[in-house]
Amino acid sequence: MQTFSWPVRVYYEDTDAGGIVFYANYLKFFERARTEWLRAIGVNQNQMAQEFNSVFVVKSTAVEYHASARLDDELIVTVLVEKTGRASIAFSQEVRCAERLLTSAKVTICTVERTEWRSMPIPAPVLRLINPALFAASTD
């Protein structure tokens, strides 16, 4: 799998009184990058909810903070799929500023049925877009 990158600019609202990005905002940056990655591979989350009654939710996060981002910094947030399961996707994500690693994370999302919030498998058409190699191997 290839690493997906998404640019993020640090705005005043992202920072604390010292002009440093508030630690919880990195989770927002990771979320935005994963959402843009889904769009880039052709997964429309609204359509997924309507057609399959399925939504992605965050199951777990483990974040390490290495250095601080500051107001007006131009960041690059990366997304790398580490593993796909029946109902989950594990990611490795990073935030960098000018090649300097600021934050790294392991994030796992899973699919749930959107009205009862019960775990359910990732819909096959969505999984096909996320991990086409799984399907290519089965059709050879």
**Alpha-carbon span 36 to 39, nearest angstrom:** 5
Catalytic residue chosen out of the listed positions 14, 16, 73, 140: 16
Q: Which amino acid is at 69?
A: A
Is residue 140 part of the annotated active site? The answer reads no
Residues belonging to the active site: 16
